[in-house]
Structure 1
């Protein structure tokens, strides 16, 4: 570069000032593109973050169940593994369900830094009220521990989880189930298990409607009540684990499963279908908003191209005066860079305003007012700014490269 950078910048800004209308249109295009990029990405990433938070908080980060990923083969199959024998009439071995040595598993979990384990027992019963019957999946828990590994307490419409400890036969039902049975807080319902045992349960709390993570046909009782009702004393079939860092769940689950053989599912594994859909949605979202920024960069290309076309004689004179090819490219790239930077600045302001509007919109969901979750972090601003800046520089470089290839002799000869 032979010319002074300040001189070259002055020439570039004089070009833009001389084409004020086109400059405003190009800047407006970039600003609108950046603004809507921020609004759309804030909405999409905010909803994704809220969804993942719901997945993480709704249930334990890891669930160890009394299942095996590869159940052991039956003794008859083992005895004649390589023989050409067809077995008839043998009985399949029944295995007692439940986590064996579950106290040892809990001790191993509690020994891990930042980990909390909560034992539970699940089973099925039938509720009976006034001639109406409803199947119900009961979950026996220790309320104090369970409230530390999941957000059950936040899902209650009325009552408290710890009321299970102070009320004989207490049960926490969902509002949908209570409505189907026609019962309310404090009412007593009858419960019959598959073993034939009958128990009276008193409703001490109600879940809010629409809690799909819990299930409309699920209920919580005290662990010892569930063990007594299901005739499974001192047995549990599930351990829920909460970690300080939920994103370590996959690694910890693999380690526990290898150590104790029981199936250990992380929240990522349980939600793998949803997480893969989020990846697809992000690809679509960024493709669409990137197209918006690409279209906006055409405004910069048009302004710089017109500037090159109108200044062909000036370009020839500057070349004859000693300005190099790099000087000419620098001038027109600076024009595109200036348009992009100004557009990005106004786009950030527009995006911030759109976020404020979207964030103030209230929706009524299940009778409660909720606002749109938005990601207002600086990452989206940086992505929008970097993408627009890159597109703007490329859009300016193409005509700038053409300007640098102009032959001053041909232009001046044609002008003469």
Structure 2
């Protein structure tokens, strides 16, 4: 069998002779690869930015005072094999909250690099100047909550730690304050479901368009943990633990492990966002299917170029076979033609894709009157996927005519029968 270098020289000579057709096929691959990089860069970049927002703006694990499975009745455990039916069962009155939460908090803080804080959450009614609104009041530790979420970056007029100096302080959203006609420094009447009242002064406002990626909503308020416990008549009780990890991807594994130990519901950010993450997977499947279809269409240029080369070089193929080249050698020559076109096209496509990404990054876009920068992914991975996909498409497109070339009968051609 002839050396690969000789086969490559023959393939290159074929491409040079048909330079115009080679350039057209190469440009088709380049355009396909370029648009692959541009589209995937936008889609993957926006996905990574969205997931980063999910990770950065909320605790990685939230522990709630609830269990995944309801507690079994003692009679069912006493008679496990019997047919038991319970009548007139009255629900047990109990104070909601996490039992042994200090031990759970210590267990969470024992995780390397973890930050954990207790919280109490409940529904209250706030009133001002004859207007009322229902909100969810979060009693938090101001020193730690800023490390768990990005709420600090959304505040105007004050800081989270101001709650320590003013235990009767509250932080609400600006849209809620505007609907009630309240301003920074005004005093609200906060009413708990039990009827307990608390006068609370607005210390800061949460801006919905602060650009930090965090916004809990118009109906969420923040207060000091001790104040909320007094308002809800639940001293020394918390119903949530918030945990932040140094490696967010470990959240699901660690949450499952700690949940098995403590029994309460330890909910990771992956579980809270499962529906959204599944939609992103579907979106990626659609995106790559469309982009690969573009590359498949671009590979038709290679198929046409190699097919035409096979048709024009039938006598040359016969001569090569007569000189001792095998059918595998002939097939390799035309496969090399397709690979060379794909390599040159992909190299040019990388430049086209990089230029398109740069143009997209510099587009003068605005949202809500503020400049918007498209999140783009320019990682090496996208270039490797584009190059690999174009190479696979080129090999498939070149293999069909190359196989036909390998089956050419040299005897019939040299005799002038074909």
Q: Give the TM-score category using the shorter length.
A: over 0.9
- SS of the equivalent of 2:416 reads helix
2: CA distance, partners of 1:114 / 1:302:
59
Structure-1-length-normalised TM-score: 0.94
**Counterpart in 2 of 1:280?**
282
Looking at structure 2, the residues matched to 84 and 120 of structure 1 have their Cα atoms a distance apart, in angstroms, of 40
Asked if 1:391 is matched to 2:393, the reply is yes
Matches within 5 A, 1:300-379: 300-379=302-381
- C-alpha distance 285-84 of structure 1, shift in aligned 2 (>3 A): closer
Map 1:201-216; keep pairs closer than 5 Å.
Answer: 201-209=200-208, 214-216=216-218
Q: 1:186: how far off?
A: 2.2
SS at match of 2:251: helix
Q: Distance in 2 between matches of 1:126 and 1:279?
A: 40
- CA separation of 1:367 and 1:137: change in aligned 2, threshold 3 A: farther
| Mapped contact 1:118–1:240 kept (Cα < 8 A) | yes
Alpha-carbon contact 1:59-1:213 (below 8 Å) kept = no
CA deviations on 1:343-395 (whole Å, 9 max, x unpaired) are 00111011111111111224433443221111110000000001101111221
Query: How far is the alpha carbon of 1:162 from its aligned partner?
Result: 1.5
Secondary structure of the equivalent of 1:94? Answer: coil
Q: Residue 109 of structure 1 contacts residue 115 of structure 1 at CA under 8 Å; is this kept in 2?
A: yes
**1:295-351 deviations in Å (ceiling 9; x for gaps):** 111110100100010111111122222222233222211111110001001110111
2:235 corresponding residue in structure 1: 233
- CA distance in 1 between counterparts of 2:405 and 2:288 reads 33
Secondary structure at the aligned position of 2:99 is classed as coil
Give the count of matched residue pairs. 414
- Deviation of 1:71 after TM superposition, in Å, equals 2.5
**Partner SS, residue 122 of structure 1:** strand
396 and 75 in structure 1: CA distance in 2 versus 1, 3 angstrom threshold: closer
- Where do 5+ consecutive residues of structure 1 fail to align? none
Match of 1:298 among 279, 297, 300: 300
CA separation of 1:397 and 1:35: change in aligned 2, threshold 3 A: same
Change (3 A) 1:304 1:167: same
Whether the aligned pair in 2 keeps the contact of 1:74 and 1:93 (CA below 8 Å) is no
The structure-2 alpha-carbon separation of the partners of 1:168 and 1:107, relative to structure 1 and needing over 3 Å to count, comes to: closer
Instruction: Tell me how far apart the structure 2 counterparts of residues 170 and 363 of structure 1 sit (CA, whole Å).
Output: 39
Rounded to whole Å, the distance in 2 between the matches of 1:362 and 1:205 is: 33
- Alpha-carbon distance, 1:75 to partner: 6.3
Match of 1:70 in 2: 69
Partner residue of 2:130? 131
Q: Secondary structure of the residue that 2:105 maps to in structure 1?
A: helix
Q: Which residue of 2 aligns with 1:175?
A: 174
* 8 Å Cα contact 2:121-2:136 kept in structure 1: yes
Distance 2:348 2:75 in 1: 76
Would you say the 8 A contact 1:304–1:335 is kept in 2?
Answer: yes
Contact 2:126 2:188 in 1 (8 A): yes
Deviation at 1:262, TM superposition (A): 1.1
36-45 or 107-116, larger mean C-alpha shift: 107-116
Report what 1:261 is aligned to. 263
Contact 2:56 2:150 in 1 (8 A): yes
Taking the aligned partners of 1:215 and 1:172, their CA distance within structure 2 comes to 12
Aligned to 2:152: 153
**CA deviation string 1:235-260 (max 9, x = no partner):** 11100111111111111111111111
Q: Are 1:162 and 2:164 matched, yes or no?
A: no
Cα drift, residue 9 of structure 1: 2.4
Q: How high is the TM-score relative to the length of structure 2?
A: 0.93
Deviation at 1:190, TM superposition (A): 1.7
Give CA-to-partner distance per residue, 1:202-249, whole Å, 9 cap, x none. 222222226785122001111111112222111111001111111111
Per-residue deviation, residues 256-301 of structure 1 (Å, max 9, x unmatched): 1111111111111111111111111111111111111111111101
| 2:187 and 2:199 in contact (8 A); partners too | yes
Correspondence for 2:409: 407
Kept in 2, the 8 Å contact 1:316–1:412? The answer is yes
Counterpart CA distance in 2 for 1:75 and 1:288 is: 57
